Structure 1
Amino acid sequence: MNPAPNLFLIGPMGAGKTTIGKRVADQLQLPFHDLDHVIEAQTGVAIPLIFELEGEAGFRRRECAALAEYSALDGVVLATGGGAVLDAQNRARLAARGFVVYLETAVEVQLARLARDRKRPLLAAPDRRERLEQMAALRNPLYAGIADMTIRSEHEHAAQVAADLYQRLQLVWRRAPAPAAA
């Protein structure tokens, strides 16, 4: 068993982190948080507006602060944004404070799932495939580097992926209380 106080879901946009995370959180009877939704609630504006006003660097600063806050909780399921792993401090927090599940998804599947999505600033590119491939080349090794478990999230319905993930978690993860602060 790999004890950790939290369950963190990482992976690219369109992998199903929020949909699968909510279902697994229900099965585990733990509260669920989506880091992008947390940032929107804290700022009172949508992420595309944060990107427009503050750029990606401003958004990433907010993301780091929100991740520091929410990864410090005890007993939560947290879906990160796809780019949260770009920051080394974020990766360290995720690895130290939770059991990390990488929802792996092919670019083809992302393209299909995100075909109608016009709200993601990083997809506002002339060639979405090329943009997703560039992000995958940079991010996939980072996801794999901190993952305690990798699960493919592209072949089945989200409910089945969540059920499979829950079953696998029963074999390898147990929620442990957070270590006492020194």
Structure 2
Amino acid sequence: MSPRVVLVGPMGAGKTTVAGLLGDAWDLPVRDTDADIEATTGREISDIFVESGEDHFRDLEAAAVTAALAEHDGVLALGGGAVLRPETRELLAGMPVVFLRVGLSDAVKRVGLGVGRPLLLGNVRARIKALLDERTPVYESVSAHTVDTDGRTADEVAAEVRRLLG
């Protein structure tokens, strides 16, 4: 069993929203690893970062991704940093992974001031740019397809994903 599609990309790319639209269109269940972590721990991700640190969160995230890839056959959205772990990248090999690419300007507009986004403390625009610069090559390396989201609605992005995956 493996997901119909795995969506990856940075915060603000629309992974959760697009996943919901794809689930509706394909009549498939939708799973989001960030939501899985919050449900399992009973804590918000921002609280986990602050109280337990990023390394602990990344351990929880790796476990959530491993479980979701093994158990879920619907639409799966991964947290923005999930692809940073080499073991996660290995698990994604050969899967129908779609990178939802977002540019700096659109990401900043969508994320706002980063409330509830612990990696954005401080200068939000500079922090998002650094994350995009660091992670974009990793997203590209694990993805079978890339869909640009800038200036597009979630419906338009979901339609392109459906077209790419048939």
TM-based fold match above 0.5: yes
Q: How is 1:1-182 mapped onto 2 (pairs within 5 angstroms)?
A: 5-6=2-3, 7-96=5-94, 98-125=95-122, 127-170=123-166
Paired with 1:87 and 1:138, the residues of 2 have a C-alpha distance of 13
Paired with 1:95 and 1:15, the residues of 2 have a C-alpha distance of 22
For residues 80-104 of structure 1, what are the alpha-carbon distances to aligned partners after superposition, in whole Å with 9 as ceiling and x for unaligned?
A: 01100110101111224x2000000
TM-score for both structures, normalised by structure 2: 0.94
Report the AA paired with residue 152 of structure 1.
D
The 3-state SS of whatever aligns with 1:39 is: helix
Return structure 1 stretches of 4+ with deviation > 4 angstroms: none
Q: Is the 8 A contact 2:93 2:142 kept in 1?
A: yes
For residues 18-59 of structure 1, what are the alpha-carbon distances to aligned partners after superposition, in whole Å with 9 as ceiling and x for unaligned?
A: 000111122122210011000000000111110111100010
C-alpha RMSD of the superposition: 1.3
Paired with 1:83 and 1:74, the residues of 2 have a C-alpha distance of 20
Q: Is the 8 A contact 2:2 2:69 kept in 1?
A: no
The CA deviation at 1:116 is 4.4
The 3-state SS of whatever aligns with 2:93 is: helix
Report the AA paired with residue 145 of structure 2.
M
Report the AA paired with residue 16 of structure 2.
T
- For structure 2, the residue ranges without an aligned partner over 5 or more in a row are none
- For structure 1, the residue ranges without an aligned partner over 5 or more in a row are 171-182
Larger RCO: 1 or 2 (CA < 8 Å, sep 6+): 1
